[in-house]
Structure 1
Amino acid sequence: MGDPTASGGTAARGRDVLDMALVIPLQGPAGIFGPSCESCAALAAQEINAEGGVLGRELNLVPVDGGRSPAEVATEVDALVSAGAVQAVTGWHISAVREAVAPRIGGRVPYAYTALYEGGESRPGVFLTGETPDLQLGPTLDWFSGTAGVRRWTIVGDDYVWPRRTATTAARYLRRIGGTVCDEVFVPLGTTDFSNVVHRVEASGCEAVLMLLIGDDAVAFNRAFSASGLDRDILRFSSLIEENVLLASGADCTRGLMTSAGYFEDLATSSGLEFAATYFREFGDEAPVLNSLGESCYEGVRLLTELTRRAGSTSVPTMMSVSEGLAYESPRGTVEVHDRHLRQRVFLALADGLTWDVVQQL
């Protein structure tokens, strides 16, 4: 993986092909998301090429396994960029990987990071399609306080930059609305035994748990939480959870589980329904699960394409200069770039067994 010849990223092809690195997790706790991410990105590339490509160039995705250590991922992406094998980078991967990749790219090529994240990214050439706490977490905590009367929270997260910074942001929001963080527990990525964590949640006296866990870790926590019976009295909210995790957790382990996102397969909007119909028509009923994380990779490919078309090149300074106010139609509806972040609607949803019941727009 990452061989410029194998990916079609040779200098000779550079005249008529735009090679874009697609950094997605193919292993580790987040590997559960990989197939959905890959399929959605591939659909975006197919549609763009059917439209005539990017400034007349065929779009070619170069897969990079973002489930490895951040240093390994950054080294591969750096090598691809340095060799001229890719002219852009996108994909869903955890913030620890972004923190390693962005400095190594160093603004040489545009980088569309598609995961929801903790906010604050401002390095040159980095564009962000994911939800941020001001759009997603703050309004959700307001909803829990005002509608459900929930103000006492325990935070359970993986131990890296996104959960840590998001927990700090959540505590600030809760203080503003008279809420309380009863306890905070952070575990290593890849944790499978949550028995002690569940005991701490029970002892904390919280009314709800803010889950900041990734993929398989969220699955293991959901199973332990439900096995303990805590799901009878304590709600759970995760800003990063989707259909793959619901399926892996099992219908008996999703009672009282909520999330918020800019896209749900079951959200009945014309743009969303059209996207789902196209996806399953292209990949069939056995396609990887369609979800917000996978759709974010579609969004990243589409955003970089729209920016390149507007700029007339992949020049990072030019793309940055023309990005403000860029608007286009996507499966999330009409989206618009502000401060290199994609502004979008965000919806709150409650798990109904193995699907999401969208409650309202936040």
Structure 2
Amino acid sequence: MSVLTLTAQEEVSAPPRVVFGLFGAGAGAGWVFDALCDRVAPGAAVTLRAPLDPDSAPVEILGRIGAVAPGRLIEIVHDQPWRGRTVLRFSAHGTGTRVRLQSELDQLGLEWLLRRRGHVVRNAPCENPALGLLTSKSGPGNLFAAASDNMAALALEEINADGGLRGRPVDLLIGDDATDPATGAREARRLAAAGCRTILVATTSATFVAVSRAMADADVLLVQTLMNEGGLAGGLRIQLGERPADQLAAAAGPMMQAAGGRRWFLAGNDYCWPRGTHAAARDVLPRLGGRLVGERLTPLGTSDFAGIIEAVERSGADLLLSTFVGADAAAFQRQCHDRGLHQRCLTLAPAMDESTLARIGPEATAGLHTVSGYVESLDTEGNSTLLSRYRARFGRWAPPVSTLSESVFEGVQMWFAAAVRAGTDEPHAVARAMHDVRVELPRGTVTLDGNGVVGQRIHVAEAVGTDLRVVTSS
């Protein structure tokens, strides 16, 4: 596959050693592509905004530093919004510095960029069975989706290596909802038109709702893989993942004991999953002895959380239930740390994952906990072998695996097993075969009953730097 190279450059009125030394410190301040990272060293997570699209906003690239030549070069290995390599070169330019950016663009990246510009790029109809994946390669949700297409690709590569479905390889087609429900609906229709009879939806619940409505008359199975509030399962709709009531029931007791208090403040993004989680909290927490002392919601894409943090401080909360997601969750947690909020109360963030922790940084995760069916450090044989295969396939700088991305791997596996049982990839037959099952997966035993209710073990985990360590399991 041929690779194109996109270029951009910035000029800064400071010498190269100064510009290089401050790289990553100025997200939002216009300093060297708005790059953000905690240290300039191989393995460090980095985000930057590259002006690769002259007709719209800069492209946000998420990756890890792969190589450094002090004062001269930084190489970034990235998976979002496409898999590739971006190199920054620093050189003297008069009395200042010229920073030249070169970004590799493969065929999938080119198609993504063309769609971002509003061009219609249709996939040719697939000759083989096709599985769709709708994820968030851009927008605020791009952090939690960092490893999702990697996990889907890994699962299908292993399935195809074993002979595929009925002797034919299964093709993977990927759509980007840009963390926007309307965009997600358009992308889902594109995937269906290309031949995807099942689409795994690994996005916000707002997108899943929009896609479900937009595809109401389509003969396509939609499987929501990651945590969600439920309520849409049935027929050609299957919702896997953790449910808020189960997560809160597992975490409330240990969290209140660790905090030495029972006062909860609820804060998150204003869309259906946070609202559903807050509704579950208003039911579950008082029954377990908790007391609610405040609640705030703010739109996706918010960057300034000062008002919410002040409200938490005024409330005297012992515990904060954070239902922010992706980039919003990272920014909120960093600002909480800057205000010293972790010294006053502990935070439970059910959607917090390892990819987002890497963007928060090891210092700012103090006091942060999550609750989910999977964490990367989970000590099971299935998880250990999965991580070994993942690193062997995608390299040491690939984004970490989390419950949000690992669920995509499991969604592919469950879809394939159902298609084998049904003897076809016809959506209704596959949907029926996915129910009343008990499967052994990297996270452990998962069940899906006839009513679409998921059963799995739930873990409360504490952030230790940018890792999650299991504290207790239910």
Q: Give the structure-2-normalised TM-score.
A: 0.71
Aligned partners of 2:469, 2:130: CA distance in 1, in Å? 38
Aligned partners of 1:126, 1:341: CA distance in 2, in Å? 12
| CA deviation map 1:85-130 (0-9, x unaligned) | 2111003100000000112223612211112011222242112221
- 1:5, distance to aligned residue in structure 2 (A): 8.9
Task: Sort the Cα spacing of 1:235 and 1:68 in 2 relative to 1 into closer, same or farther, 3 A.
Answer: closer
Which amino acid is 2:206 matched to?
A
Which amino acid is 1:76 matched to?
E
Aligned partners of 2:235, 2:392: CA distance in 1, in Å? 38
Task: Sort the Cα spacing of 1:320 and 1:34 in 2 relative to 1 into closer, same or farther, 3 A.
Answer: closer
Match of 1:318? 429
Aligned partners of 1:234, 1:58: CA distance in 2, in Å? 51
* Residues 55-66 of structure 1 mapped to structure 2, 5 A cutoff: 55-66=166-177
- 1:39, distance to aligned residue in structure 2 (A): 0.7
Which amino acid is 1:44 matched to?
A
Range with bigger deviation, 142-151 or 330-339? 142-151
* Residues 173-322 of structure 1 mapped to structure 2, 5 A cutoff: 173-322=284-433
Kept in 1, the 8 Å contact 2:259–2:319? The answer is no
2:437 aligned with 1:361: no
Give the alignment's Cα RMSD to 1 decimal: 2.0
Kept in 2, the 8 Å contact 1:263–1:291? The answer is yes
* 3-state SS of paired residue (1:268): coil
2:207 aligned with 1:97: yes
Match of 2:235? 124
Match of 2:9? none
Kept in 2, the 8 Å contact 1:110–1:304? The answer is no
* Residues 11-26 of structure 1 mapped to structure 2, 5 A cutoff: 13=127, 17-26=128-137
Kept in 2, the 8 Å contact 1:119–1:133? The answer is no
Kept in 1, the 8 Å contact 2:414–2:434? The answer is no
Kept in 1, the 8 Å contact 2:376–2:400? The answer is no
Unaligned stretches of 5+ residues in structure 2: 1-110
**How many aligned positions are there?**
356
Aligned partners of 1:39, 1:311: CA distance in 2, in Å? 27
Kept in 2, the 8 Å contact 1:49–1:58? The answer is yes
* 3-state SS of paired residue (1:340): coil
Q: Give the structure-1-normalised TM-score.
A: 0.92
Which amino acid is 1:97 matched to?
T
- 1:321, distance to aligned residue in structure 2 (A): 3.2
Task: Sort the Cα spacing of 1:147 and 1:205 in 2 relative to 1 into closer, same or farther, 3 A.
Answer: closer
- 1:6, distance to aligned residue in structure 2 (A): 6.2
Aligned partners of 1:28, 1:34: CA distance in 2, in Å? 10
* 3-state SS of paired residue (2:356): helix
Range with bigger deviation, 317-326 or 175-184? 317-326
In terms of fraction of residues, the more helix-rich structure is 1
Task: Sort the Cα spacing of 1:217 and 1:288 in 2 relative to 1 into closer, same or farther, 3 A.
Answer: same
In terms of fraction of residues, the more strand-rich structure is 2
Match of 2:246? 135
Match of 1:346? 458
Which amino acid is 1:352 matched to?
V
2:204 aligned with 1:88: no
> Larger relative contact order (C-alpha < 8 A, sep ≥ 6)?
1
* 3-state SS of paired residue (2:252): helix
Which amino acid is 2:247 matched to?
Q
Aligned partners of 2:239, 2:258: CA distance in 1, in Å? 31
| CA deviation map 1:29-58 (0-9, x unaligned) | 111233311111110111111121123331
Aligned partners of 1:58, 1:340: CA distance in 2, in Å? 28
What fraction of aligned residue pairs are identical, expressed as a percent? 32
Which amino acid is 1:160 matched to?
Y
Match of 1:332? 443
Kept in 2, the 8 Å contact 1:32–1:244? The answer is yes
- 1:340, distance to aligned residue in structure 2 (A): 2.5
Kindly name which structure, 1 or 2, has the bigger radius of gyration based on alpha carbons: 2
Aligned partners of 1:57, 1:125: CA distance in 2, in Å? 24
